[in-house]
Amino acid sequence: MSETAPELARAQAVREAHAAELMQKANVVGVGVGMRQRGGRRQEEIALVVLVRRKVPRALLAEADVLPGVIDGVPLDVVEVGDVRAG
């Protein structure tokens, strides 16, 4: 078993537990699990990947729509994807 397997299982459990509440926040269009990205480069860190239409400065968000940096010990990676449409 890979050393990342327990981290991946934990991240998936956290996603299942919190996806519905994250989807209620402004601009959020999806929630998944993946490798964190920083400056366009993949990091060796598993994260909840929160897909948003567009990134908005924190000061312009309602407090209820601010995404935390970490949920249950799993970091969040917010990725701007634009509008998502079924093909």
- The dihedral over CA atoms of 42, 43, 47, 53, expressed in degrees to the nearest 10, equals -30
How far are the Cα atoms of 49, 72, 73 from residue 33, in angstroms, in the given order? 5, 14, 14
Each residue's pLDDT tens digit, 2-26: 567 899 999 999 999 999 999 999 9
Each residue's pLDDT tens digit, 29-83: 999 999 998 888 888 899 999 999 999 999 999 999 999 999 999 999 999 998 8
- Domain 5-80 belongs in CATH node 3.40.50: no
| pTM of structure | 0.88
- Position 87 pLDDT exceeds 90: no
Query: Phi/psi at 43 (nearest 5 deg)?
Result: -105, 160
